[in-house]
Amino acid sequence: MGDLKKAAILIILLFLIPFARACFFPQDLYAVEVELKDYNLNPLLKARNIVIEDHKIIYRSHYDPRLIVMIWNDSKLHVRVQIPTKSVEEKIFTEEFTGVIPAQTIVERAKESGWDVKEYYLKKDNITIYLTPKVGKECKSDSDCKTGGCSGELCLKKNETAFSTCIYREWYECLKLTKCGCYNGFCTWKPNPLFMECLKKYNVSIEKIIKAKTQIRIEIKGEINDKIIREIEYLLECKIPRNFNEIDKTSIVPTIDPRIVNAGTAIESELRWLREVGVIKIKDEDIKKISEIAKWGYSGYNAHIGFYDGEWKPYFNASNAELIRCVGNGFKDYQEELPKDPPTIERGTCGPAVMILLTLIGILGGKRRENSNDVLGRGNLTRNKGKSSEDIKL
């Protein structure tokens, strides 16, 4: 690729701020991604064996050439190592419903029961369950909520006026098993198994007492039988609807078994190489910490690794995380376009490219940003103007 084309695309990567929406994509389950602040993409202009496409710099991994590295910026730099994927056609049965189901409790139970768990994505054999907690805007912490009513049976916003009939109900005894606080942005009695079982004992509508709800999507490949239903109901601790729809689905699966490639070593290798060639500035202890927590599935808008609350962690664990609740079809991983070897940097000057950069900065200055078809949701300007990424909501 010539200096002019590289320079023009790098200008876009460096100077335009994206505004496209992000989503969860199937490939996110087979990638690890880190967000960094201190970076300079100029050294990559001198790299061999890279591809610049769709406002990303793409190349083969130094850890394992079968893996793909994608780099882009959206005011911060994102470094993503991706296991290549392929599409397969499958027949599946689906069911969706919303209920008072404590998502984090379900996640912990799934881990104990041998499910493959990645954030709120649960998989075991031919069963896949997606949990999408509903998020409110009533509160950010327990201090934003209060109890009210004649018997303290109401949980509401701190600035909200309480109204109660002052008639004591037997189920109020259940309130001793929980507390009023902020749960997924709602001021509510916090759900837990003992509290919910107590409400059922008194035939109380859980939906009227607990505001926080979770949307559930169940996907089953092949035959549905009572054993599968019992396993799902055990996990969710509730009876599920059985109005399953049969659909044809294109699924994204990895071409390499994720168990034989190490996510921590893969991202560590790329961070060390990028530091060596002058693209990023990062300390050894930070690389070590990122490598220790990295796992396949820590990628995408909701789960990428970043420095939050004074430590490296996935975004969904950050105190101010605003998670996006949509899923995309998938995206191109560029495997066929890539040279077979990882990139190397040509040492020496890059005078013509620098001059081109300076010229194009003046030319592009003040131009209006176009929407993008960037399937990763972090796009800037692209050759396919006017096309926006499509989100499919669960």
If you write DSSP's letter for every residue of 199-222 in order, what string do you get? HHHTT--HHHH----EEEEEEEES
- The reply to whether the predicted model has a pTM over 0.75 is no
Q: Evaluate whether 8 touches 377 at the Cβ level (below 8 Å).
A: no
DSSP string, 122-173: EEETTEEEEEEE---SS-SSGGGEEEESTTS-EEEETTSPP-------GGGG
d(CA 346, CA 30): 31
The dihedral through the CA atoms of 257, 262, 264, 268 has a sign that is: negative
- Tell me which residue of 209, 298, 297 sits closest to 254, measured CA to CA: 297
pLDDT tens-digit profile, the chain (394 residues): 454 444 444 444 433 333 334 677 889 999 999 999 989 999 887 889 999 988 899 999 999 999 999 999 988 999 999 999 998 888 899 999 988 887 888 898 899 999 988 878 899 989 999 998 888 889 999 999 999 999 999 999 999 888 888 889 999 999 999 999 998 889 999 988 899 889 989 998 888 888 878 899 999 998 899 999 999 999 998 889 999 999 888 888 899 999 999 999 999 999 999 999 999 999 999 999 999 999 999 999 989 999 999 999 999 889 888 877 677 777 777 878 899 999 998 765 444 444 444 444 443 333 332 333 344 544 332 223 223 333 322 2
Region for residue 125 given its phi and psi (left: phi exceeds 0; alpha: psi -120 to 50; beta: otherwise): left
d(CA 366, CA 121): 42
According to the model, what pLDDT value does residue 75 have?
A: 85
According to the model, what pLDDT value does residue 285 have?
A: 97
Q: Evaluate whether 149 touches 127 at the Cβ level (below 8 Å).
A: no
- Tell me which residue of 86, 209, 234, 195 sits closest to 149, measured CA to CA: 209
According to the model, what pLDDT value does residue 281 have?
A: 94
User: What does DSSP assign to residue 78?
Assistant: E
Q: Evaluate whether 369 touches 17 at the Cβ level (below 8 Å).
A: yes
The encoded tokens of residue 370 equal 């176009």
Q: Provide the residue type at 136 as one letter.
A: G
> In the chain, where does DSSP find H-type helix?
3-15, 103-112, 193-201, 206-209, 226-236, 263-276, 284-293, 300-303, 351-364
Could you tell me the end-to-end alpha-carbon distance of the chain, in angstroms, rounded to an integer?
40
d(CA 44, CA 38): 15
